[in-house]
Amino acid sequence: MKYNNIKYPYPVLSNIDDSISGKVDIFQLDIWENGDDYIIDIELELKNTDIEKLISNGQAEYVVELLCSDTLYRKTFKSPITKFSLEIPKSNLKGNVTGKIRVLSKEKIYDYKNSAAHPDYEGFVINIEEGDVLAIFNDFKFYAHINYKNLKAVASFMEVVGDEETDTFFVELENEKINVHLPQNDYDIFIKDKILKEKEFVPLIHSSIVLNALLIALYSFDEHTDKSWAQAIIYRMKNEDELKGFISDDDELEKDNIPEIAQILLGKPITRLINKLNDFDSDEDEY
Amino acid sequence: MEKQKIFRSTYISKLKKNLLNGKTVHLYKEKEFEYDKEKELILPTVFKPEGLLNKMNEKDDLKSAIALYEAYCDFTPIQASDDRFWTYLTHVDLFSYMQKRRNKHLTGEADNEIEYIMKYWFMKSTSQQELMRHSLAGLWWGVYLSVDETRENKYELTNILFRQLDFPTRTLGTYRLGRHKEAVIGILQFILENDELFNSKFEKKTRYITKYLNLVGGTKPLGYFDRTFYINELNKIKTKISQI
């Protein structure tokens, strides 16, 4: 059985090949925040009589391994049942987190046989050692440190900063948020309460400064998918019905679709601007 | 007590940009690095440790690593992977240590001064490789991964890890295996118990055992096992190690 360029010398239940027939599936996966912790609720589905028997006999167990490169976090969680509820302190995770789920042997199993194994394995004596993989579920991934509840807010992925060294607007994409640099004098005016806190101006700001910056970012999206701002956008694009069709499984965007994607991400700022302008016009008509 | 400061992210980008276009190379040769104090942020819950600079010894990485770790021993993994913090330390709090430890731009030995400074004063990202290879973060993380509170001398294994700086910063530390504390402790315990095996060719031998365990990890999920597994696995290849 071959998985991730690893060839197992015995049959392993997975979705990769038919070395064992059966089912391994992540039935439910919920990742949410509770105070200072991430809660990861997982429910698994495994259908294979022999492996299920090994688990119920205490000879094998479900194992979830969480890995986070940015914090060097690596921890395994074990369970004899298909449900996990993991509590991970937020202070341990940042950026990409990968979850690997396996069924592992807890002890030596001599002459391991699986009645649902491919006939090619017939006649071979297989001895399993402690820690050997018996079943592989699909990996799951999430991006820590994104406040998923607040992703609709532009501030979750973009920040406007004053810059004394520039006399023109420019956008910087190398940080965790999209940084929109304004000349310092412009910025000082921009952050005045009468502008920044004025709800009437929101469509104006969104359709000018924010939309421009977002377009620039989306056209360079592919080179920055490791940044939090890009991950926030990926999350929204994979979870919001209006955006789902615009991103590939490999997190790639079609350049032709970018203007439309930007409009959806910002809640149609041009339409809102035009409506607002129309409101201004109507107000003027009312004496 | 003074609160710990860090740089703003946007300022780090500016420092990098200015270094790359050659504008600020000279600042890295001054006694103190001149920077914009308005670009500092204060960490409200972290106090700046007193006397850390004096404890850092450019000739003794182990001593420096322990001093740095103890100064920030309450850091969470997220805090310890913050490039704004490490870049502030390399440029401000520990600038003079950096100049002594990484001094090839001062002595004229650096082939390319800009690349040399970029490599040691900044992080490209906060991936495991970058954290472990960084001049200061690599020291902190090396201790974090090897400190063992159950021992009389909790740094006994750290001592072995830092026998050669390549071990924590290039070999073991940069492998995914290095994230699993039980693996690190198991490997270091094996070296401690078989000290005579590692009297010669330490680097080659530690590279070999790291690669060997990585190979074992091809079919077994290494995060599943405790330190005993690693000691037992390495005992199986003692003869091979001795032949290196």
DSSP letter (8 states) at residue B193: H
- Identify all chain B residues contacting A161, using CB atoms and an 8 Å cutoff: 10
Rounded Cα distance, A226 and B242, in Å:
43
Its domain, for residue B231, covers: 149-244
- Within this chain, do residues B156 and B137 fall inside the same structural domain, yes or no? no
Min Cα–Cα distance to chain B from A44, Å: 19
Residue A125: exposure state from Cβ atoms within 10 A (0-12, 13-18, ≥19): exposed
pLDDT at A146: 64
- Within this chain, do residues B91 and B198 fall inside the same structural domain, yes or no? no
Domain boundary among the residues B88, B117, B146 is at B146
Give the model confidence (pLDDT) of A180-231 as tens digits: 999 989 988 988 888 877 778 888 888 999 999 999 999 999 888 888 888 8
Q: What is the mean pLDDT of chain B?
A: 92
Give the dihedral sign, CA B36/A179/A98/A145.
Answer: positive
- In order of A101, A102, B47, B78, the CA distances from A40 in angstroms are 13, 16, 33, 19
Residue A151 has pLDDT above 70, yes or no: no
- Identify all chain A residues contacting B213, using CB atoms and an 8 Å cutoff: none
- Within this chain, do residues B35 and B95 fall inside the same structural domain, yes or no? yes
Asked if A67's CB is within 8 angstroms of B125's CB, the reply is no
Give the model confidence (pLDDT) of B208-236 as tens digits: 999 999 888 888 889 999 999 999 999 99
Give the model confidence (pLDDT) of B101-156 as tens digits: 999 999 999 999 999 999 999 998 878 888 888 999 999 999 999 999 999 999 99
Query: 3-state DSSP call for residue A182?
Result: strand
CA closest to A78 among chain B residues = B224
Rounded Cα distance, B233 and B230, in Å:
5
Total of domains in chain B: 2
Query: 3-state DSSP call for residue B18?
Result: helix
Q: What percent of chain A has pLDDT over 70?
A: 92
Residue given tokens 């005993």 in the structure block: B228
Rounded Cα distance, B101 and B104, in Å:
9
A107 within 8 A of A59, measured Cβ to Cβ: yes
Min Cα–Cα distance to chain A from B12, Å: 10
Residue A246 has pLDDT above 90, yes or no: no
Domain boundary among the residues B114, B130, B146 is at B146
Asked if A176's CB is within 8 angstroms of B9's CB, the reply is yes
- Within this chain, do residues B158 and B60 fall inside the same structural domain, yes or no? no
Give the dihedral sign, CA A188/A193/A194/A195.
Answer: positive
Tell me what the mean pLDDT of segment B69-76 comes to. 94
Asked if A71's CB is within 8 angstroms of B77's CB, the reply is yes
Min Cα–Cα distance to chain A from B114, Å: 20
Tell me what the mean pLDDT of segment A165-181 comes to. 87
pTM higher than the cut 0.80:
no
CA closest to B127 among chain A residues = A70
- Within this chain, do residues B224 and B137 fall inside the same structural domain, yes or no? no
- Within this chain, do residues B112 and B180 fall inside the same structural domain, yes or no? no
B138 in reach of chain A (CB within 8 A): no
- Within this chain, do residues B118 and B218 fall inside the same structural domain, yes or no? no
Which segment of A70-74, B37-41, B170-174 scores lowest on mean pLDDT? Answer: B170-174
Number of residues in chain A: 287
What domains, with CATH codes, occur in chain A? 2-144 (2.60.40.10), 148-285 (no CATH)
- Within this chain, do residues B139 and B20 fall inside the same structural domain, yes or no? yes
Residue A284 has pLDDT above 60, yes or no: no
- Within this chain, do residues B101 and B167 fall inside the same structural domain, yes or no? no
A34 within 8 A of A75, measured Cβ to Cβ: no
pLDDT at A286: 45
Count of beta carbons in the 10 Å neighbourhood of residue B150: 6
- Within this chain, do residues B113 and B218 fall inside the same structural domain, yes or no? no
Domain boundary among the residues B129, B146, B163 is at B146
Asked if B131's CB is within 8 angstroms of A72's CB, the reply is yes
Tell me what the mean pLDDT of segment A224-247 comes to. 85
- Within this chain, do residues B51 and B107 fall inside the same structural domain, yes or no? yes
Task: Kindly indicate the confidence band of residue A287, based on its pLDDT and cuts at 50, 70 and 90.
Answer: very low
- Within this chain, do residues B12 and B120 fall inside the same structural domain, yes or no? yes
- Identify all chain B residues contacting A74, using CB atoms and an 8 Å cutoff: 176, 179-180, 223
B221 in reach of chain A (CB within 8 A): yes
Token reading at B216: 């074992």
- Identify all chain B residues contacting A37, using CB atoms and an 8 Å cutoff: none
B126 in reach of chain A (CB within 8 A): yes
Min Cα–Cα distance to chain A from B108, Å: 31
pLDDT at A161: 86
Pairing outcome for strands A158-163 and A178-183: parallel
Residue given tokens 């992080």 in the structure block: B123
